[in-house]
Amino acid sequence: MAPKKTILLGVTGSIACYKAADIVTALVKKGHDVTVVMTRDAEEFVAPLTFQTLSSNRVYTDMFCVPEEWDAKHVSLAKKADLIVIAPATANILGKLAGGICDDMLTCTVAASEAPVLIAPAMNDVMYRNRIVQENIGKLKKSGYSFIGPRTGRLACGYEALGCLAEVGDIIQQIEKLL
């Protein structure tokens, strides 16, 4: 068995964020240490307690909560990560990362890390095909970020199109390749 790796999972505000619970479960079963960082929008879909229970680790949602002991948490999380995975990744997070915007715990942690980053987009097909979103994806790829998906499937808007989060099994396989 490969040595235990530390994976930081970023969860953003897409309806697909419930599938991130399956990602955490699969990674923990493989023996990895998983820490989840959620955006405020993600908390509208899934409670942090879900990820805390599945990962057995504290979930981070806020840059400005008072720590029990001094620690620039976004920096310490960034340093200990062997891999950062953002699943699901919204158009919003893609734009922030591509623009170097660091206005929440997830974007600050990614910017402070030298770990590889895997991004699994999930959004409406028109949003995904949007020229600016595609430019942001291109910019991130050029900067060394890896991507998986999206795939074609039933979208939240009710029709079949490109924009669904990649299958959890495929995401796990890609994570294992990157580790």
Which residue numbers are catalytic?
157
108 close to 93: Cβ distance less than 8 angstroms: no
Token code pair at residue 137: 């994806």
- Residue 94: how many CB atoms within 10 A of its CB? 27
Tell me how far apart the alpha carbons of residues 172 and 25 are, in angstroms, rounded to a whole number. Answer: 11
Peptide bond into 88 cis (omega under 30): yes
Tell me how far apart the alpha carbons of residues 85 and 5 are, in angstroms, rounded to a whole number. Answer: 13
9 close to 21: Cβ distance less than 8 angstroms: no
DSSP symbols for 77-134: HHHH-SEEEEEEE-HHHHHHHHHT---SHHHHHHHT--S-EEEEE---HHHHH-HHHH
